[in-house]
Structure 1
Amino acid sequence: MISVAVVDDHPLVRDGIRGWCATADPPIEVIGEFATPRAFLDADRARPDAIVLDLQFPGQAVDLGFVAQLSADHHRVVVYSHRTDPDTVLDCLERGASAYLSKEEGGDRLVEALHAAVADKPFHSPTMAKAMHSGRAAVRPKLSDREREVLLIWFQTESKVMVAQQLFISVKTVDTHLARIRTKYAAVGRPAPTKAALVARAIKDGLITADEL
């Protein structure tokens, strides 16, 4: 069963998310509810498969640093917010969020986004689509240091087996990293389904140089 944590200061929102998750197919278990991102970070808790994260909290300015911090810690972050301005949406995606939804989009779409995030599959909400068409062009996804390392070695070698051998990880782990990289590119409207497409994206975004290939 998928597990999620909900970070939102409104009890009614948390109750709604818990109800949607309980009736999801397959079901989703809410294993933690937190009124602020700091409460989540400071808690002694089990690690969820994904996090539903609001952006606005009482007495605080919107701080997208928490999106980056959680994503850097390899959490799958699904932002669920009233804010829908393109810059905020794209900033969250750049910082590693798996998906961004408006609270007006409802429970079915949030459940769909959570299932996609945990499976490392692309997901596009209407809020994301609008931001990608009206916001900044050529958004660069945020890759972890390990993802960039896997990507470079995969470009330099002939197979995923060789990547796994060089990094002392399993081929399955290599596949997981590459799937997440593709998901991040798809999330910002720049899908890269093939190795050649990923090479082109990575060079354009400055993740690698032609001399490194």
Structure 2
Amino acid sequence: MSVALVDDHPLMIEAISSLLLRSGRFDVVATGVCANDVVDICTRNTPQVIVVDLNMPGDIYTAMSAAICASPSTKVIAFTAATGVDSAIRALDSGATGYVLKGSSSRELIDAITSAHSGETYITQHFASRVIAALRDTSLRRRAAEAVKLSIREQQIVRLLLHGKTNKEIALTIRISEKTVKHYMTLLMQKLHVRNRLEVVIAAQKLDERGAAAMH
């Protein structure tokens, strides 16, 4: 199996190379020391698996995504001392198939490379439950955010609400009946999980602030 290693610590690369070569199952085809090397190696060498340290010069997460675009058959394993769940989620979102902590055993790293090559996701065992729980929470938050996406008409009504318009004034402004405005208000209460007009305005204000923050 062709494997590439990218880590800015020469001793780490030397140790992993020796480990993989001794097993007789792997061929180390390239090594690198920074984020840019990840993309270059995948473009030139198309290794079956590339093991990447996250704490290196350059934007490593963008590099992982770009490397997978350059060589879709290459599987990426993040091999890192970073024990934060956020780092793991970001690496997996960037396309990593494995996340192995540097405190793991050599057997775990080999298992991760083998699993990644087979298309299976591998996370350091004692760390996996935390990552899975966080991924579940992240998924729920994303679904909740998607549920609050408003239609164009709902956005129009929200903007007018934020300007203090009554239902009658909203109806006249966007040329629909007052009854239709009330229908949209009911939909907005359901979408925003609120109980009355005032809470719709408060929730809409928060949405508006989040949208403005995302623009900067």
TM-score interval (norm. to shorter): 0.5 to 0.7
**What does residue 35 of structure 1 align with?**
33
| Alpha-carbon shift at residue 38 of structure 1 (Å) | 0.9
- Say if 2:99 and 2:122, in contact at 8 Å, map to a contact too: no
Query: After the TM superposition, which residues 56-95 of structure 1 pair with which residues of structure 2 at under 5 Å, given as runs?
Result: 56-58=55-57, 60=58, 63-73=60-70, 74=72, 75-95=74-94
Please tell me whether the aligned partners of residues 89 and 128 of structure 1 are also in contact (alpha carbons under 8 angstroms).
Answer: no
Whether the 8 Å CA contact 2:38–2:67 is kept in 1: the answer is: no
Secondary structure of the corresponding residue to residue 137 of structure 1? helix
Q: Do residues 4 (structure 1) and 26 (structure 2) align?
A: no
Q: Which amino acid aligns with 1:31?
A: V
Q: In the alignment, which residue of structure 2 is the partner of 1:55?
A: 54
How far, CA to CA, are the matches of 1:64 and 1:10 in structure 2?
19
Structure with more of its chain in helix, by fraction: 2
Contact conserved, 2:39 with 2:66, CA < 8 A, in 1?
A: no
CA 1:64–1:34 in 2, change beyond 3 Å: closer, same or farther? same
Q: Which has the higher contact order (CA 8 A, sep 6+)?
A: 1
The residue that corresponds to 1:191 in the other structure is none
Structure 1 residues 31, 106: CA separation in 2 closer, same or farther (over 3 Å shift)? Answer: same
Shift of 1:134: 4.7
What runs of 5+ residues in structure 2 fail to find an aligned partner? Answer: 141-216
The 4+ residue runs of structure 1 with deviation greater than 3 A are 42-45
Q: Structure 2 counterpart of 1:70, which letter?
A: A
Across the aligned residues of Structure 1 and Structure 2, the Cα RMSD in angstroms comes to 2.3
How many pairs were matched up? 136
Give 1:107 shift.
1.6
Pair 1:22–1:133, CA change in 2 (3 A): same
Match of 1:171 in 2: none
Question: Percent identity at matched positions?
Answer: 23
What's the secondary structure of 2:28's corresponding residue? strand
Unaligned runs of 5+ in 1: 141-213
- CA 1:38/1:100 → structure 2, altered by over 3 Å: closer, same or farther? same
Identify the residue that residue 132 of structure 1 maps to in structure 2. 132
